[in-house]
Structures are given as structure tokens and as C-alpha cells.
Amino acid sequence: MIKLKNACLEVELEPKGAEISKIIGLKDGINYMWKQDPELWGHSAPILFPIVGALHNGKTIIEGKTYKMNQHGFSRNSEYEVVENDDYHVVFHLHENEETKTMYPYDFDLYVTYTLKDNVLEARLKVINDREDHLYFQIGGHPAFACPFEEGEDANDYYLEFEKKESLSSKIIYPARGGMSHETKAFLENERHFFVRQALFNSDAIVVGDFKSEYIALKTLISKKSLVFHMHNFDHLGIWSSKHTGGLLAIEPWVGHTDYVDFTGEFKDKVGVRRLNKGESFECSFSIEINQ
């Protein structure tokens, strides 16, 4: 376990999955991350790579060969190397190995850098291609937060608020059919906020693209506490709370998303897939601002 600490926050991170496990406010003593209950959802904020969501029938074709990969890829179950660490930042590094090569044929370098400054934890994700003629990938975050922040509170008092008024449709995931529908449903119409209700997630996550806002905030009617989630260089946003869980709200910035139910193309044709030629790199970032 890696710990970062300043006058505002104490953060715990795990090399497995380069995962944030706790963000504790030192003023109020609250852990703002999901509690990682293994009987409900044992993660709290794994990094997703080299896919986001699920492959059609669990398989994909890369460079003419068929590969199998579980939902959200192998990063979340991989042990990252710690290459830098002090009180305020840590750099995790993941690269190919014999196991990843059975699922994904490319050599790659993925760096995840966490930096703590005042009341903000920033995560920078960087993919580098130094060894392949080209490679393809998706990438994303899956941070899940405590909602409500404190036990005894009612999640129905919590709402999410975008930076700007948004007119958005949500893509529809059909877990039983193993993918995303081409259908959408109206979600927001020139609005900034919506209340957290379990019924919103009866199918699966809310998935939106083409949003204008650079942040979305989790707020409550009963106090001035808030969590502001900033994001940069992502093309989709997933918002998820398991209808069977309670106490959890995930805000997920994604490059790409799960395959469509009728998808038959190759990996390079997936929604949001990025290509890196040799010598190129890709960066995206998100940050978590805690207002106690």
C-alpha cells in the first residue's frame, strides 16, 4: 500500500490495478471512496486498460488473431511497479508480460501518476508506444465513491451536477445480451443536475458522450460537503450504481466503451479506440476535489 498525505487529505493507493482505495478528509475523518465490500463490489477505483467495458462474446480480433479478455481488461488485476514515490505523489508503471500477451499482443508502457495538492488528488494516465509499429487501445477510470458520504444519511438527498447545462442522451447497456444497444434514451434536456436514484441504474450504467462540462460534482442537500470530479481528454462518461449495492456511486471517465451487441469488427474498429504509432504517446487525466 502507498500513502500520500498533506494538511487536507490522506490517500491510500494499491499497486494492484493502480487503484485508489481511500481518500480521507482530515477535517471530517470521512473516507470518500467506496468501502470495497467484496460481497458487493470489491474494487474502488481500478484503471481500465486496454479495453473499457466488455468485448462482444468476450473475444476480439487483433492483427488477424482472436484474443479473449474479461470486462474492462487486465489492468485492474495487474500488479503495477512503483517507480517514484514521496509524500505527495506516486508513479505506477505497467508493461506487457507473458500473461498480457495471451490477451493483447502489443508491447506497451502505461504510467499512472497520482499527485496530491491541497484538497485535490490528480490522476494522470499515459500510454507510450516505443516498441511497436503501432498499437490500439481503450483506457479509462472507474472510481467509485461513498454515496452517501456518511452512514445514516440518505442517498436520495444526493445529486450530481454538471459544470454546464447539458442536453444528453444515454446509451443503453444490455448486460444479458453482452453489449451496448444502438438505441439511446433521453437523459438531460438543457439541465445541470439530477438526483441519485437506484432506478436510474436498473439496466446498468448511464453512458453519455458529447458532454461540454469539464467536471461533475456529487453534492447533498443536507450539508455543504461535495466531491468535484474533473476530467480531461475522455470521450465518454459512465455513471453507475449497482441496483443491489447501495452506498456506491461510480463516476467513470472513458476513452471508448463496451462493444455494441452486433459488433463484428476488429479491435481497431471499436468505439473510441486510439492508435499510437511508434514513438507516440497518449495522455488523459482526472482529478478528485474534496470539499469538507
Confidence of residue 247 (pLDDT cuts 50, 70, 90): confident
pTM of the predicted model as reported, rounded to 2 decimal places:
0.93
- Tens-place pLDDT, residues 136-182: 999 999 999 999 998 888 888 999 999 999 999 888 887 666 688 88
Peptide bond connecting 105 to the previous residue in cis, omega within 30 degrees of 0? no
Is the four-CA dihedral 212, 215, 219, 224 of positive or negative sign? Answer: negative
Sorting pLDDT into bands at 50, 70 and 90, what band is 87?
very high
Q: Looking at the predicted structure, is the pLDDT value of residue 244 above 60?
A: no
